[in-house]
Amino acid sequence: MQLNARNFFKFIFKNLAMFVYFFAILGHMKQIFKKQLTIKTRYNPELVDDRKAFEKACNILRDQGVDFETSTETVATEFGKKLYFRYSLTTDFIIWIILPLIALITLIF
């Protein structure tokens, strides 16, 4: 099949039901997700004082009848962020500069 406007529109009209269904799903995306208010704390679980303060805050919320759940989150340190940034720059440089240059040199010689 040649790629031209006529064939493109034939394809769309042949598969119109699929496209309508797909766009209907995208249109109702707001009904799939809901917004919630969250509280993020900076308590350090390794420090005893922070754990006590966190438990005290949880007890206050329980006493007030607030429905909540607790969990921990692993976040990158400043060193981890810098390391990842440098890794990303290095791999991008290799992928977008070095490899094309190698391919170009091998094509020329």
Enumerate residue ranges in the chain where pLDDT < 70. 1-9, 12-13, 16-19, 21-32
* One domain, residues 1 and 31: yes
Which range of residues forms the domain containing residue 17?
1-35
Q: Answer yes or no: do 63 and 89 share one domain.
A: no
Tally of domains within the chain: 3
pLDDT digits (tens, 9 = 90+) for 47-59: 999 999 999 999 9
How far is residue 60's CA from residue 42's CA, in Å, rounded to a whole number? 17
Assess whether 45 and 71 both reside in one domain: yes
Distance CA 78, CA 84 (A): 10
Q: Are residues 29 and 1 in the same domain?
A: yes
Q: pLDDT digit string (tens) for 58-72?
A: 999 999 999 999 988
Is the model's pTM score more than 0.85? Answer: no
Neighbouring CB atoms inside 10 A of 19's CB total 13
- State the pLDDT at residue 6: 66
Residue 85 has a pLDDT of 95
Query: Count of residues for the chain?
Result: 109
